Amino acid sequence: MHTELHHEKKGNELKNKTIGFLGMGIMGQPMARNLLNKGFHLMVWNRDADKCLPLVEAGAQAETSPAKVVAAADVTFAMLADPAAAESVCFGPEGVLEGMTPGKAYVDLSTVDDFTSKNIAQAITESGGRFLEAPVSGSKGPAENGQLVILAAGDRSLFDELDSAFDALAKKSIFLGEVGQGARMKLVVNMVMGGVMGAFCEGLALGEKCGLDAEGILEVLAAGAMSNPMFAGKGPQILAKDFAPAFPLKHMHKDLRLAGELGAKTGQYLNISLSALSLFAEAMDAGLGENDFCAVSKTVSE
């Protein structure tokens, strides 16, 4: 399979079309705002309609169902919490399929498993629509700054046509081939991130119990081969016990679970990642799901 790390610039053909956006959560709202700020005509929907109000005040139009957004839009993006939400919005009453007609396009930015993505893709294409899965790597800050990484798969011509929209959302967009490959790539990336976060928190906890200065540990990590943006950003948050969610812990737990299922399906044993899943499951049981995923440090230290 050939992997494309960039796509040909196609200009601003989308600027005269209507863009739909479903899901105004931590990620969806800033992504939709970036599209609006770039001059796109935007229609939005969220299950809790109040979350659409900031976008409406900025110039977007709100609709009362996914079906109505899809029916009115040329291309509809969705950023939803998990596979259950993605399927509900697509297949449920007044869902995406009810508004889908030939020629319209649906781009699912949600992090789901490959089975869910393929299921949605099949339904969209059987309705005459075009489909692209496009989960994103990055959390709240990159979403606000348009610095995400888009991991796309599916309709290659649609990927090319969405160049100007992707430029509003991301610093890089990558085409990975057939539907399912985007979902798999996102799960691999988040599986690695979850395992590394677990080890990072354990290192900080062990160091402090040994009498080491926690800020000193961060300084040493930053000076060596393991220097990385996640440690630089999350380290001070952990020390300050500031767990305001940029990437909610419940979503990392979900992603590690889905990665574990992908490992079982492919016959790849994931010893470290399954240990990380167990750690995040403990954090969920402790009621930390709505906190940032670095709040797993509380489970490690306590």
Q: What is the pLDDT of residue 13?
A: 65
**Residue 12 confidence class, pLDDT cut points 50, 70, 90:** low
Average pLDDT, the chain: 95
What residues are paired with 105 via a beta bridge? Answer: 75, 130
Q: What is the pLDDT of residue 77?
A: 98
Rounded distance between C-alpha atoms, residue 132 and residue 130, angstroms? 7
Task: Identify residue 103 by its one-letter amino acid code.
Answer: G
Mean pLDDT of all residues in 108-125 = 98
**Residue 120 confidence class, pLDDT cut points 50, 70, 90:** very high
Q: Tell me: pLDDT of 10 over 70.
A: no
Helix H, strand E, coil C: the string for 49-109 is HHHHHHHHHCCCEECCCHHHHHHHCCEEEECCCCHHHHHHHHHCCCCHHHHCCCCCEEEEC
Q: Tell me: pLDDT of 292 over 90.
A: yes
CATH architecture under which domain 13-179 falls: 3-Layer(aba) Sandwich (3.40)
DSSP SS3 for 42: strand
Q: What is the pLDDT of residue 19?
A: 97
Mean pLDDT of all residues in 75-103 = 97
Burial 36-67 (b: 16+ CB within 10 A, else e): bebebbbbbbbeeeebbeebeeeebebbebbb
DSSP SS3 for 45: strand
Mean pLDDT of all residues in 136-151 = 97
Residue range 34-46, pLDDT digits in tens:
999 999 999 999 9
**Residue 1 confidence class, pLDDT cut points 50, 70, 90:** very low
**Among the listed residues 75, 70, 80, the one whose alpha carbon sits nearest the alpha carbon of residue 164:** 75
Which residues form the catalytic set? Answer: 186
Residue range 223-272, pLDDT digits in tens:
999 999 999 999 999 999 999 999 999 999 999 999 999 999 999 999 99
Beta-sheet pairing, 18-22 with 75-78: parallel
CATH code for residues 185-301: 1.10.1040.10
Give helix 83-91 / helix 114-126 axis angle, nearest 10°.
10
Q: Tell me: pLDDT of 2 over 70.
A: no
Domain ranges of the chain: 13-179, 185-301
Global pTM reads 0.92
